[in-house]
C-alpha cells in the first residue's frame, strides 16, 4: 500500500496487486528482480494451485463414488457429459486405446484444475487481498496476495513443462529409446548424416516452442483478464473516494457485469484449449515421422 499513509494512486494500486507473495527456499520474504529467478517461488500461486487441485480431484472422486446406474443427478450428469466430451476428443487424437486409459483421465483433470484456477478471477479483486491485509502481516508475511494461479507465468510454464515431460515419456514408451533417438536426428529433413545436426536443432526448437506457447497462451489471457478487473475496480474506487462523478459508479457496475459474463467464456475456453493442446501434443508423441 502507499508508504506515506495516503490512498494509493492507480499505478500504485495495480503494482501492488500484481506483486506475488514471494519466498526463497529458506522461507524468507524476497522480491523477484530478474525475469527468470529460480532462487524463489510464489507462495500464493503454490497454495491456491494445490488447494484447487485437491478440490478438483475431490469433486471428480465424489462424482465417481456417488455414480449410479439409474437416472443421474445434475452433478453426476454434468461430470458424465464432461468425461464423455474429453474421451471423444482423446479418441480423435490418440488412437492407442491403452494410452487413453491414462491420458483421458489426465486431460479431464487438467481441464477441471485449470478451470478452477481460472475461476478465481471471478472473485472480487480486493476480497481475499483485503482479508490477507489484516491476517498476513500479523502472521509475519508480506502484505501481497494474488489469487489467480494461471495469471502467474511460473504456474502455466510449470504445467506446460509437465506436458512436455509426458510427451517425452510416450515418445520413449511407444517408439523405444532408440527409435525416438533416430527420429530426433532424421526428421524432418531425412536420415543423411549431414542433416542430423539440422534435424536435431529443428526438433529442439519445436519442443521448446510448443512448451513456451502452451504456457504463455494461458498466462497471457488470464493476466489480461485480471488486469481488466483491476481497472474496473479503480473506477469504483475513484467514485468511492471522491463521492462525485456518478458516471464512474454506473460505468463500474456495467463494465464489471459485462466483463464478468464475458470472462465466464474466457476461463472455460482457456481451460479447454490447454486440455486440447495437451491431447494433441501427447498424440503427436504416438506418431512416427
User: Is 217 noted as a catalytic residue in this protein?
Assistant: yes
Phi, psi of 195, deg, nearest 5: -95, -5
CA distance linking residue 174 with residue 188, whole number of Å: 19
- Select which of 24, 39, 88, 213 is catalytic: 213
- Select which of 99, 118, 154, 221 is catalytic: 221
CA distance linking residue 259 with residue 83, whole number of Å: 29
User: Is 42 noted as a catalytic residue in this protein?
Assistant: no
CA distance linking residue 38 with residue 62, whole number of Å: 37
Write down the H helix ranges in the chain.
10-17, 43-65, 74-93, 97-119, 127-138, 153-186, 196-242, 246-286
User: Is 213 noted as a catalytic residue in this protein?
Assistant: yes
- Select which of 29, 83, 162, 217 is catalytic: 217
Please report the sign of the dihedral spanned by the C-alpha atoms of residue 60, residue 64, residue 66, residue 70: positive
Contact 52, 120 (CB under 8 A): yes
CA 172 to chain CA centroid, nearest Å: 27
The catalytic residues are 213, 217, 221
Amino acid at each position: 500500500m502507499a508508504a506515506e499513509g495516503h490512498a494509493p494512486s492507480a499505478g500504485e494500486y495495480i503494482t501492488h496487486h500484481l506483486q506475488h507473495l514471494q519466498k526463497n527456499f529458506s522461507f524468507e520474504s524476497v522480491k523477484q528482480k530478474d525475469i527468470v529467478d529460480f532462487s524463489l517461488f510464489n507462495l500464493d500461486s503454490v497454495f491456491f494451485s494445490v488447494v484447487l487441485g485437491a478440490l478438483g480431484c475431490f469433486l471428480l472422486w465424489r462424482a465417481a463414488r456417488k455414480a449410479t446406474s439409474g437416472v443421474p443427478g445434475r452433478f453426476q450428469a454434468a461430470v458424465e457429459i464432461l468425461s464423455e466430451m474429453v474421451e471423444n476428443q482423446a479418441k480423435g487424437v490418440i488412437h492407442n486405446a491403452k494410452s487413453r486409459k491414462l491420458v483421458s483421465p489426465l486431460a479431464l483433470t487438467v481441464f477441471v484444475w485449470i478451470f478452477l484456477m481460472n475461476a478465481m478471477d471471478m472473485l472480487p479483486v480486493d476480497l481475499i487481498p483485503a482479508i490477507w491485509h489484516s491476517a498476513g502481516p500479523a502472521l509475519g508475511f508480506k502484505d501481497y496476495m494474488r489469487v489467480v494461479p494461471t495469471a502467474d507465468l511460473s504456474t502455466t510454464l510449470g504445467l506446460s513443462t509437465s506436458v512436455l515431460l509426458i510427451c517425452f515419456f510416450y515418445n520413449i514408451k511407444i517408439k523405444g529409446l532408440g527409435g525416438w533417438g533416430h527420429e530426433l536426428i532424421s526428421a524432418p529433413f531425412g536420415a543423411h548424416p549431414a542433416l542430423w545436426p539440422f534435424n536435431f536443432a529443428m526438433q529442439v526448437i519445436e519442443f521448446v516452442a510448443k512448451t513456451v506457447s502452451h504456457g504463455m497462451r494461458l498466462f497471457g489471457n488470464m493476466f489480461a483478464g485480471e488486469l481488466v478487473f483491476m481497472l474496473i475496480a479503480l473506477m469504483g474506487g475513484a467514485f468511492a473516494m471522491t463521492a462525485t462523478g456518478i458516471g464512474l459508479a454506473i460505468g463500474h457496475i456495467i463494465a464489471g457485469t459485462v466483463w464478468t459474463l464475458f470472462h465466464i467464456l474466457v476461463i472455460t475456453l482457456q481451460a479447454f484449449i490447454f486440455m486440447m493442446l495437451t491431447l494433441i501434443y501427447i498424440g503427436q508423441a504416438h506418431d512416427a515421422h
